[in-house]
Amino acid sequence: MLNYSNGWRGDNRSSVLPIRSKLSIRIIQWFSILRTPANGAILSRNGNEIINMQDFVIIATFTLPTQVVVARSKLESLGIECITKDELTVQSYNFISNAVGGVKLLVHKSKIVEARQILIEGGFLTEQENKPTKADVFLGNPKNINRLKKTVIIFVSLLIGIALFLMSYSIITRPSKVEMLTGMDWYLDHIVYKDQFYYPNTIESKMSTDSGFKVEIIGRKDDLIEFNHDGSLVIPGFESRTIRSNWEIENDQLTIFKADTMDAIFNGNYDLNFSNRKLVITSPNTSFYCFSY
Q: CA 195, CA 117: separation in Å to the nearest integer?
A: 87
Residue 280: predicted pLDDT: 95
Q: In whole angstroms, what is the distance from residue 236 CA to residue 213 CA?
A: 30
Query: Could you read off the pLDDT of 41-81 as tens digits, one per residue?
Result: 554 444 445 566 777 888 888 888 888 888 888 898 988 88
Residue 165 lies in a domain: no
* pLDDT tens, residue by residue, 124-145: 776 554 556 666 667 666 777 7
Model pLDDT, residue 177: 87
Asked if residue 110 and residue 43 are part of one domain, the reply reads: yes
Same domain, 109 and 9: yes
User: Are 195 and 111 found together in one domain?
Assistant: no
* Domain around 252: 177-291
145 lies in the same domain as 194: no
Number of domains in the chain: 2
> Do 123 and 216 sit in the same domain of this protein?
no
Mean pLDDT of 274-284: 92
Whether residues 97 and 29 share a domain: the answer is: yes
Averaged pLDDT of the chain? 76
Q: Residue 116: its pLDDT value, please?
A: 85
User: Residue 204 is part of a domain; what is its CATH number?
Assistant: 2.40.128
Of 105, 134, 150, at which residue does a domain stop? 150
Residues 228-244 have pLDDT tens digits of: 999 999 999 888 889 99
pLDDT value of position 15: 41
